Every structure is written in structure tokens, then in C-alpha cells.
Chain A
Amino acid sequence: MGSQGGWGQSKEFLDLVKSIGEARSKAEEDRIVMSEIENLKRRITEPDIPKRKMKEYIIRLVYVEMLGHDASFGYIHAVKMTHDDSLLLKRTGYLAVTLFLNENHDLIILIVNTIQKDLKSDNYLVVCAALTAVCKLINEETIPAVLPQVVELLGHPKEAVKRKAIMALHRFYQRAPSSVAHLISNFRKRLCDNDPGVMGATLCPLFDLIAADANSYKDLVVSFVSILKQVTERRLPKSYDYHQMPAPFIQIRLLKILALLGNGDKQASEHMYIVLGDMFRKCDLSSNIRNAVLYESICCVSSINCSTKLLESAAEVTSQFLKSDSHNLKYMGIDALGRLIKINPEIAEEHQLAVIDCLEDPDDTLKRKTFELLYKMTKSSNVEVIVDRMIDYMISINDNHYKTEISSRCIELAEQFAPSNQWFIQTMNKVFEHAGDLVNVKVAHNLMRLIPEGFGEDNEGADNQLRSSAVESYLRIIGEPKLPSLFLQVICWVLGEYGTADRKFSASYITGKLCDVAEAHPSDDIVKAYAVTAIMKIYAFEIAAGRKVELLPECQSLVDELSASHSTDLQQRAYELQAVLGLDARAVESIMPSDASCEDIEVDKSLSFLDGYVQEALVKGARPYIPESERSGMSNISNFRGQVHHDSSTHGLRFEAYELPKPSGASRIQPAPLAASKELVPVSEPTYPQEILQPASVSSVSETGPTEFKLRLDGIQKKWGRPTYSPTAPSTSNSNPQKTVNGAPQLVVQGAVSSQAHDVSYDSRKTKVEVSPEKQKLAASLFGGWSSKTEKRPTSTNHKTTRVHSAAVEKSQMPTAAVASTEQAAEKESPQQPPLNLLDLGDPTPGDSTASIDPFKQLEGLLGPSDVSSVGNSAVTASKSADIMSLYAESPISGLGGTVANMAPTNSINLTSGVSNAANRNVPVGSASTQVAPVKKGPNPQDSLEKHAVARQVGVTPSVTNPNLFRDLLG
């Protein structure tokens, strides 16, 4: 209906859009937009603009902003429009503000009140509009203002409202986890909602919650498995089917959650075996959405404690992905392979050629993914090939972001697996040379630490060899132009430290080189500083060794230049150098010991060497030192400051009427002042006791518990108060477990994998025929490291017992799982079984009252309960068109016939095959939509003609430059 009868905007606006469309260059477009902005600026401030006109201005502002120009002068008008009573204007206002404002914009405070009002509206469309705005606009600070109302809306009769309310709460959780911490039971309850849309939405917040703390949700494993099972058995309304797949998006979310819950938990994983096995059973790569679900299943298998059989199925699907012609599937296959080899490195072996093909593919995306895979499977036997490949690729690309990433990966691998010092130094040189300053500074510092420390073996000889090979290679490179600054720093440092260590090169040679470096980079102060310090070290070592030192003339001029430098740092270094030259050998040796960069410098923090001096002074009558904490005045001040801060933390922005004076609770106060005092009060440590005392005394007074509203303010940033955001303190209960839970198992897995990679090796199979020898060689060098020893697989009997065991467990907990596990015969029976409640949560919720009836079936209406299980494929396609008709049957608007008819273009590129399949049949529709006559399907020339006519009216004609504007996107 959108395009029927013209576009509904004024001529002026259409002209604007048209002129932008016809602009030949970005400059021309910018010019048009600028003049439009001037125009709008003038017109929007005129008094008494009719509302309709204003609405159009707002949409024009959106347009201007969309094209990348600043329309902030009009934001306030969009905000005003949200206040309007008419839904038409309100909707436009909300649309504009959600597009204009980021969550921390100052104007948001002006909308909060409107949102509060609209959330209470009788009209559910108003509520929906407000909730959409809530998701975008409400920030940590304003969450408390709308939270109670959003929670209330979870019980709204309209599904759409419930769904949006859940998503809003999910957003709140992302912004400030503590704000919704007390609402977790609501999410659990909504999981049992009768509407699949609401249930599906609930999976979003649950996913985040489970990612933060999987252990508290282990009881839901059975429920999730049961929901997934029912979804795959097509128990959801057909309208959730997507390209003949039952509710795939919900399936994917469920699989993601199961992956989290089964991670490192054998018992939870066992519940999932059957349903996951079923996912792999129908494995054809025909439709993209099926592949998406299959891929997610592989991810789930690789994350949980999986059985051999599941791993085999997953590997099978992965190999089909890799064999596919589609780049997308190859990409997913490589990714899946990377996950599976963590469990069993053997899997990669049969795909070596596929992997190499991907590595040489012209598609950069695929190439990078493959490098990621190689990175995961690197070990000492193949590190040289892999790192060389990576460096070659790194040299060939311009994308700085990725260059940084791949260079740090190279360096990491080189440090971990380097077969020889020589190779290590060379690799580092290459990386530094080509990645230049993109290399992380830490990496350079690491290298500077690694060279003196050596590789950890107690072999001084090898370390010395490393150093001298580094020095040699650096001396070779140092003359090259355009070396990155970071690399030069490393070079200077190493030359200074070890340049003369093995007496191969003379001091004057090295210092000469260093002077050249400093001269060649007159604008780089850091390099100059490194160079002059290196020179100082060389001379110091010479002096300490008792040799006579003469400053080279170029050195002298460098020192002279630097002592007059603008940089005080350089000046100081130059003066230090001169001072060192004037000292005798003994003194120099103690201030500049050779090869001592790794020695610990002991710092006497208590300044005990001054004790004698202090004693002397005391004896002479000096006053003893009083520590800051013991000085009474000071502690009062800090106490006072703590008080002030504490006040500001409780009095932020308020959105509710003043409440009755009541002593406030203690629990919320404690953490905030602690964290904040570190910033505010210089003497933090000693004042702690007093600060804690403060809230403690309050708590002893309070008799009533903390009010709920106040609790939620924890950790919320005070925009207009002091900037005392302290996220860690109040939310520790949420965020800390997340880190430990997430981090720990991963570490365990990685550790296990790397040890496997080293210890267990496998036979390299013979490469297949018809493969170029070059590729074979590469394959052999990449994968050939595995030899003879094959990991013993768990025996099949073992596997069977686990299966039986898992079935037994499920049986005891839930009747349907048992049905499924007794293979196909039982599957046929299942429709006759009493329909199962989706939500077997064992938690007294409203959903449980309908335990004996499948909630989705009640909803369905269109198809009787027997249809659901028996109709099969025909029903799937049939329901599709049934959907269309029933949809429009409910909103009969003129001109709709054309829309529906034209919906399915005849030439069905596989994108729309689902739709067009449905369209090509005249399907008898279910009882709900019988009043709709079967609609003639196929392309409707009349409709496109109308559209073209409208377009021409506006002045847009298909021409050589824009022939595609009229083409159906789906056609």
C-alpha cells in the first residue's frame, strides 16, 4: 500500500529527493543538501507551521541526516513532535529522535516524560512506538524512570507490546546489568509465553544472562532442549516457518544458549545429544537458512561436551560446507573446522587441499578466515610455512586494521614456536619492516625483553648466538631508508646493549651507525633518544673494559646538537653521555653494568639508608614525621569529602515524586564511596575505615529495608551530579562471575588443545591424485607434522552407554524426550500422544495452568491439531499463502489485490522460490480466511504500470543512468 496513489509528500520534497538522485557528483549532492539545510533552518522556525507541514520538515531532516549532514538544529522540533497527541505525528517524532539522538544526548531528558506517558497509553500502537524509542534512547541514567512501566507491560494483552518490552529490558541489561538484576524471574516466566514471538524474544536476554553466569540456569537445559525439539517438530504456528524451515531464527538462538549451557558440563550436554543428532540428520545444503542452523549446530557441538557420534556428524557437515562451490559455505566451513580441530585436530587432515584452495582464493574474506584457521593449528613443525604465508599476505594488503592483527599473530607464533634464533630474528625483522608502526608497541618492548632474557633455556651460548645474529641482521638493515620508528628503537636498543658484546664489531663502527640513524631521523625524538642512549652504553662498556675512548667527530656534533635541543629529554641524555665520558672505569661499571637489563633493580622503599641521617636530625631537636593518616585535620577533611560524595551519589536525577522521609538502606551505599574516594581524596588508603563507618552508621539506623527504586540506582552514572561512575563496585555480583565463568573453561580448552597438538601427531595421508605437486608440497608442510600416533577413540560401547544413559535421564524428567529417543516408530506415534507443554519449567507460572494443551496449537487457529503433524510439506507451502491472505483479509484496503498479486514475481531466483511456489498454487485456505477468494498470482503488469506512472508524475523516468531504480528487488 505504500506506493499506491503517489508518495504522499509535497512536490517540494519530491523534487529534493529527485535532484539528489540525479546529482552527478558528491559535490553536487552536498551543494543541494546544504541549500536544503539553509531552507529548512529558515522555515522550521517560522511561527504557526501546520503540523502536517512540520511532519514533512522532520522527515526532510531525517533525509538530510541520512545523507551524512548535520541536522542538529532541528532536533528540538523532532523532540517536540513526540509530545503531540496524534499518533501520526508522534510516530514521526519518535522515528526522527531515534535516528537523530545517541543514548547520551542532552535532549533525551526532554523525551523521558513523554515516553513515561505513552507507555501508559490505552492505544497499544502508541505503547509500541514508545517502546521502540525506549530501546534506543533510554540510557543508564534514565532507566529507573521507565523501568517500572516497562516491567508492567510484560503483562500486556498484546504480544507485540510484550515482545518489545522484553527487548527493552534486554537493552537495559546491556546498558546497566544491575538495573534489571532483580527481574530475572520475569524472563524465566516469559519463556513460557504462549506466543512464540514473545518466547523467541525472551531468548535474547536469557542468552546474555547465561553468558554471564551459566551455572544459575542449568535447570533450564531440559526446557530449552524440549522447546528446540518441539520447534524442529513443527509445533509452532506455520507463520513462523521461513523457507520451509520451522522457526529457524528461534532454533539458532536456542542452539546458542545450549552451547553456553553445555560448555564444560557433561551432564547438561548429555541432555542435548538427541536433539542435536536430529539437527544433523537432514543434512542437505539446499537452503541457506538450513545451513545457518547447521552451522549453529556445529558451533554448539564444538562448545559442549560432545559425543563421538555428534562430532562425526558435525565433521561430516563441515566437510560438505568445504566442498561446496559457494564461497559463503566455504567460509563457514573453515570457521567450523577451526572450532572442531580444538576437539580433535585429526579432522583437519582430510580437508588439507580444501584449506589450501581457500588460502589461495582471490576472495580476501575467505583468505583471512583461512589464516585464522592456520593460526589455530600452528605448531613447531609448520610454523615456518604458516608465518611466511602470513607475512606475504600482510605485505600485499593495505588494510591497516588487519595488518596490525596479522602482524601481532605472526609475532605471537614466532615467539611461541620459533625453530631457530636465526629464523626468529629474520621473521621479526620482516614483520617490523612491513607492518611498520602498526605493530603494537608492546610487541617491540617484548622483543627488547626477549633478546636479553633469551628463550628461557639455561644455555647462555644459544642466547648469545641469538643476540649476535640479531646485531648482525640489524647492522645489515640499518642503512635502509624508511624504516619504521618502532623498529629503529628496537635496533638502537639492541645495538647499544649487545653491539660490541662479542667484539666482532668495533665501538666506533657501531657508534657511527647509531649517529647515522639519529641524523637520518631529525624529527623523530624517540629514535634520537634511543640512539644517543645506545651510544652512551657503547662508550660506557668501552670505558669499563679499560679501553681508551675517543668521541667520533659526528658523535660530538650530535651530542652538541642534542644538548641544545628543545626536548629536555634529549638534552638530559646528551649531558649524561658527556658526564659518563668523564668518569673513571670503576664508576662507569657500576652505573652502566654490561648485559644487565634483566637484573632487578632493588628499590629501598622505606628509605632505610636515611635512618642515620634522620636519627641525627632528631637528636638535634627536629620534629618527628607524622604520617598523613594520623594528622587529625586531614582525616576530617577526607571524611567530609566522603560525606559530600556520598550525598551526591544518592541524589541523582529523580523521576518520581518525593517520597516520605525514610532512612535509607545500607547495602547500596557501601561500594560507591569506596571506589569514588580513590579519585577524589588523595589519601585514599588510610581514610577507608572512616568512609566505611559512614554508611555503616546509616545502616544501623535504618530499620526498614531499602526501597526497590533506590536499589536500582546502583552503578548508574550521574550525569548532572559528580562524574563518579563506579561500575565495578555495585555490579560485581554480575560482572565478575561472567569473567571467571567465561574465561576459565576457555583456558582449559586451549590448554588441552595445545598440549594435544604437541603430543599427539598423526599420519599424513597421501594427497589425492590430480593435485599439482606444488599444492601437495604445501599441504605436506602445513599438515604433515602429524605422525603415527593416533589418538584412541572412545569405543563404541562406551558411546552407546552414554546414549542410553542420556535417554534414561531424559525419560525420568520428561516424557517426550523418551518418545523421541525410541527412534522413528515412536516419532510416528508422537502426534497421538497428549500434546506436550512447551514450557516444562517446573516453576509455578501462569503458563503451567495450560499444561495439558499445547499453547501454540491454541494460538494457531488456522490449522487443526491433526494437521500440524500430518500435513507435512504441502501444508508448509500452503500456509504461506494462507498467511498472506489472512493478513490482508484483516486489513482490507483498496488496491491491496494488486499488491498481493504482484508480490511474487514469476522468474523465481531461488531467493523467492518459497514465495513463488506458494504463489503458483491456488490453495484452499483455512477456515479463518475462507472469505478471501483465491487470488490470482503472478506478476501484475498493471501494478508496475501504476507505479511507473506515479514515478513519471514526480519526474523520475527510467533512463540509461538509472535503469535499476524500477527493478524489483526480489525479481
Chain B
Amino acid sequence: LVNCQYSMATFSTSERKRRPRGDRKSQEMTMHLQQTFNAAILTSLHPRSQIDIFVEVLQSDGGNYCASVNAATLAVIDAGIPMKDYVCACSASYLGDSPIVDINYLEESSGSPEITVAVLPKSEQIVFLEMNGRLHEDNLSKVVDMAVKGCKDVYGVLDRTVREHVSQVGSSLET
């Protein structure tokens, strides 16, 4: 069983947020994170136990879900909980005539469609897919491709960081 809690600090957005947790958007985000990690973590290896993931957003400039998923992935790896693969998330949008990757708050609020994808990079299986705004069906494939490619790039960064960290910890243990 995976339990998540998502909360945003009141100072995270440009306007002070009144309710850090419990409002609808946070509840929805919590549910999405929970589903994502339930699908990715091998919960059968931890029967009768609950894995808690707490996410706190300190500064929000768009891509909240993506940053939360990437951070939680690293946290789960650091905790030593076995997962099927890294879970990497990235957002993409379609502005003008071209798909763009990793949109920020300004691009989000301008009304353009936004796709958020969480994938397992090696097998390219989509764990979570969400779309807001209006997007024509023909462009869907391009934008999803863009987002998946972005996820692969994120995976590269995450993997490198994990290996560096592990080698650091390993070397400090030896001394």
C-alpha cells in the first residue's frame, strides 16, 4: 500500500496560498501521485506494510506534478524500496505550430494545452497521462512523443545523480 500526501507551502506561489492541503487540487494531486507510485513500486515485496510519501512544494513555477514525481522517485530509491524502474515525469505543450517541452507557470496559464506524462523510461510504458486545455487530436501524438523524450532526458540526469551519490556514499563508508 502506498500512501501519499501532497502539500504546497503557502509561500510557493506568487500569491500566498490560503490552504496548503485539503483543497481539491491538492487532493487530486495526491491521488495521482498515489496511483503513479502504486503502479511503479513493487508492493508485493512489502506485504502488510504502508509506504508513505510526503511531498512538499517549496516553490512552484509550473510542472508541480513532474517535479513531485521525480523527487519522490529519488526518495524511494534512496530509501531502498524496490521499483520496476525510475519513474520520470515531464510536461509538454503545443504552442503555435510546434510542441514544446517542460512548460512553466506562464506558459501553463496562457491557456495552451498541457500534457503531463510519467513514464518508466526503459520500457516507455506510460504510468500516468494527463491533459488540460484544448488540443487537436492530430497533434496528440507529436506532443506525447515530445513529453516522453523529455522524460528520457530527465532519466539521464536522475540516473547520473544517483550513481554519483552512491559512489560518494560508498567511498565515504570505506574511509
Partners in one complex: no
- List residues of chain B with CB under 8 Å of any chain A CB: none
